[in-house]
């Protein structure tokens, strides 16, 4: 049985795993724009968490041959999830989780002040040895080489400033959570990406691609679909930069996980271990893969790779369930699944629609921020995670169901 709908009216088909999940008109228009680009391979795959994004929708899988669209990758390059199970159970956690939340917040810089400039509370002021001492030498060399090739990137950024964001959370929908699974085992789960330096890299190459479109008199239905042709010097530089940012994002999440586990150890008197390999996966990234007999560039913007047997993470909102999943290797989706529930409305709309009382009710039983500044992240601002999971039943199977008991937001 076909579990996706098909729009075959564009240059290539759009295959959508959105049964039972609403899709906004703006997102549908963006999908049509992407499907009509001349270098799309086979079709565009749409995940059930799809919603409007810059240039291309969040929740889409875009395979290309001969070109890449930087805005389809986005500016939070390598953004993704990490989850680690421990040997602790719910009964081992303290009755009040406020002290644990405070300890996680103390160990992991989060949020943003002073427009991200000196004094920003979301960055390290004195970079700890755990950051500088664990930075792979190749990563430092790669960033310096990128600065050398593209001096404008060096404006406002140095290796030291990039390191000041390593092991830090950020803002928006980024989080650190303590969760319980179906057997009441304790997990630590977090969501973040390549931070300010990734944003700077993404923004720089998006603008470079737009400059080229203007130079070549190429008119696009959306300027944010500006692309970089394969074979050009800029293409190689962009791919190198994206690869660097993706590795930095992985490094960032590993540092935060170590800090969060350390906070848990400091607040829970019982000794414990991490009893399985952590899951660490991107959901805003580029990968070279083979699909339908050809080697192609796969851009996943708000989507997770779900090859057969591969583990991934699909989080709900800060008051809903999350899932550790195992991929089914569905070829039609380019072996992909959703990256979360997906926004049901914009941040501005959520702030107008929901009250603080709504947020308090939706996050009852969760130790988290309960103030007006996080209303745009309240569970009602997101799609129903159960409907999202049902729509992609042929893409992944559920290995573990997690329910957060503590959530740290920037």
Give the angle 331-322-195 at the CA atoms, nearest 5°. Answer: 85
Q: Which among 51, 14, 17 has a CA at the least distance from the CA of 35?
A: 14
DSSP code, position 156: T
- State in Å, rounded, how far the first CA of the chain is from the last one: 43
- Helix (H), strand (E) at residue 353: helix 347-353
List, in sequence order, every beta strand (DSSP E) within 23-119.
Answer: 44-51, 58-64, 67-68, 80-89
Reference 86, options 189, 196, 9; nearest CA is 189
Cα Rg of the chain, angstroms: 21
> Does 339 participate in catalysis according to the annotation?
yes
**Nearest to residue 246, comparing CAs of 301, 204, 285, 296?**
285
N residues, the chain? 410
H and E: helices and strands count for the chain: 11, 17
**With contact defined as beta carbons under 8 Å apart, do 334 and 61 qualify?**
yes
Name every residue whose Cβ is closer than 8 Å to that of residue 390 and which is 6 or more positions away in sequence: 19, 20
- Catalytic residue, from 41, 110, 339, 359: name it: 339
Catalytic residues: 339
């Amino acid at each position: 049985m076909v579990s996706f709908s098909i729009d075959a009216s564009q240059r290539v088909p759009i295959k959508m795993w959105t049964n039972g999940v609403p899709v906004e008109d703006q997102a549908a228009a963006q999908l049509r724009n992407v499907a009509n680009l001349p270098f799309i391979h086979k079709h565009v795959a749409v995940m059930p968490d799809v919603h409007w994004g810059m240039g291309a929708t969040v929740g889409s899988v875009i395979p290309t041959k001969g070109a890449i669209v930087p805005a389809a990758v986005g500016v939070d390059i390598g953004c993704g999830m990490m989850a680690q199970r421990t040997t602790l159970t719910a009964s081992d956690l303290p009755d009040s989780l406020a002290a644990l939340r405070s300890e996680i917040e103390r160990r992991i810089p989060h949020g943003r002040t002073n427009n991200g400039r000196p004094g920003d509370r979301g960055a390290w002021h004195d970079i700890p040895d755990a950051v500088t001492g664990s930075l792979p030498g190749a990563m430092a060399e790669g960033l310096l080489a990128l600065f050398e090739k593209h001096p404008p990137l060096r404006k406002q950024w140095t290796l030291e400033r990039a390191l000041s964001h390593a092991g830090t959370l950020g803002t928006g929908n980024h989080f650190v959570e303590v969760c319980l699974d179906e057997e009441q085992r304790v997990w630590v789960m977090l969501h973040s990406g390549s931070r300010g330096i990734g944003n700077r890299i993404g923004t720089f190459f998006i603008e470079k691609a737009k400059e080229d479109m203007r130079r070549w008199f190429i008119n696009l239905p959306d300027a944010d679909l500006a692309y970089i042709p394969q074979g050009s010097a800029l293409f190689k530089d962009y791919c190198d930069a994206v690869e660097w940012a993706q590795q930095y994002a992985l490094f960032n999440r590993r540092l935060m996980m170590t800090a969060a586990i350390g906070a848990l150890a400091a607040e829970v008197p019982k000794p414990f271990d991490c009893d399985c390999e952590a899951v660490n996966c991107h959901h805003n990234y580029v990968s070279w893969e083979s699909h339908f007999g050809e080697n192609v560039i796969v851009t996943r913007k708000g989507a997770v790779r779900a090859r057969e047997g591969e583990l991934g993470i699909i989080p709900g909102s800060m008051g809903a369930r999350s899932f550790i999943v195992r991929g089914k290797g569905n070829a039609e989706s380019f072996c992909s699944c959703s990256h979360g529930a997906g926004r049901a409305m914009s941040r501005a709309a959520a702030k107008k629609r929901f009250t603080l009382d709504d947020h308090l009710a939706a996050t009852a039983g969760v130790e988290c921020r309960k103030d007006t500044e996080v209303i745009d992240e309240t569970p009602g601002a997101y799609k129903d995670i159960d409907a999202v999971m049902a729509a992609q039943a042929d893409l992944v199977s559920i290995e573990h169901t997690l329910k957060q008991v503590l959530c740290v937001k920037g």
